[in-house]
Amino acid sequence: MRDGERGRGMSRAGRVGVGVIGAGVISTEYLDNLTVFPDLEVLFVADLDPARAKAQAEKYGVPGSGTVEDLLADPGIEIVVNLTVPAAHVEVARKSLAAGKSVWTEKPFALDRVSGKALLDEAARLGLRVATAPDTFLGAGLQTALRLIEAGAIGTPLTALALMQSPGPDSWHPNPEFLFQAGGGPLFDIGPYYLTALVQTFGPVKRVTAAASTSRPVRVIGSGPRAGTEFDVTVPSHHGALLEFGSGASAQTVFSFQSHRSRALIEVSGTTGTIAFPDPNTFDGDCVLFDGADHDGRRVPAVGSTSTRGTGVAELAQAIRAGRTERASGALAYHVLDTIVSIAESAEGGETVAVRSSFETAPPVPERWDPTVASL
């Protein structure tokens, strides 16, 4: 814990004021949770469209709405929840830091290493936090899997298989273009969920070797008022990668928007057994443990919090008050970003790429931790 963080984190007491920037579709699920977590007080919703911000604020009983500048001027806000489009994540986060606010950013943390590292350095200089989604790994499903591994249920974890395959979101998303352009594709859009779960299991990635392809250079919007509209695909719609971890473990990964079969899978094998994780893009779901005793495996019910998006904001608020490092930290997010960029570089260049960044793996969340219970 940096001294600046500790001093800033302990400077206030009680509930933590929150402001939300970005009143789009994803803000609804966030506000569903943020407005009922007792350790948080949502004070403001901002958007480029003030009318949209006002509508969300009124729906959830949030007292303030308006522009980003109005939000950043509010002295009661300690955490900015950054729900803007990926290309704006770093810019909005840096403005928030300059205004003296810590930041929770939707993934991806950044689109490149340089801007991501600059953001971390600025937060450290100011004694503030930059925490980042995904926070799915804080949910009951993945936490139960991590606790089982820590307890030795599969011996020493050695290998993993991680697959995310689907035809792609263009068939159902009314505005899918950004998911097939810079900052999108299955690697940047879905990869963070899987890679976060893997590095929480094995620790930092050491190097990657990858390949990529694009099945269709042009896609068609399949639903909504713009159905039938064509758009260009400018990033690969499939990445496959071998990850080697500093611990000596390895994982085979596939992130694809060009499979006609949909699958979501993480399986971790160790010296004495294998564990099948729930979908890492969810906060719940049982694990299945294979240890030779049962051919079909033994289902292990999830234990812990099943609150969804915004869980990490509550955990960040508690960390600020306690003067400790948050679990969904900027260092973790930067390492996942570094790994993603390294996979893209390896696929493009045809060579193995070393991952230079690192982070400290967070301990499992206590089974009884619940963001819907007041602690501040």
Domains annotated on the chain, with CATH: 3-136+310-325 (3.40.50.720), 157-270 (3.30.360.10)
- Other beta carbons within 10 Å of 6: 16
Strands 79-82 and 102-105: parallel
b/e sequence 229-258, b meaning 16+ C-beta within 10 Å? eebebebbbbbbbbbbbeeebebebbbbbb
- For each successive 10 residues of the chain (376 residues), what is the average pLDDT? 36 90 94 98 97 98 97 98 92 98 94 95 97 96 96 97 97 91 92 97 98 97 95 97 98 97 97 97 96 85 95 97 95 97 97 97 91 94
Q: How far apart are CA 251 and CA 134, in angstroms?
A: 20
Please state, in angstroms and rounded to a whole number, the distance separating the CA atoms of residues 346 and 352.
6
Residue 219: per-residue pLDDT: 97
The pLDDT score that the predictor gives to residue 332 is: 97
User: CA 317, CA 337: separation in Å to the nearest integer?
Assistant: 23
Structure tokens at 28: 């609804």
Q: What is the pLDDT of residue 178?
A: 87
Q: Can you tell me the distance from the alpha carbon of 304 to that of 241, in angstroms, rounded to the nearest whole number? A: 32
Per-residue pLDDT at 291: 86
Strand-pair partners of 306:
none
pLDDT of residue 11: 60
Q: What is the pLDDT of residue 6?
A: 32
The answer to whether 298 touches 274, Cβ cutoff 8 Å, is no
Vertex 280, ends 159 and 105: CA angle to 5°? 120
Is it true that the peptide bond before 108 is cis, omega within 30 degrees of 0?
yes
Token pair recorded at residue 361: 């793996």
CA distance 12 to 37: 18
Would you state the pLDDT for residue 86?
85
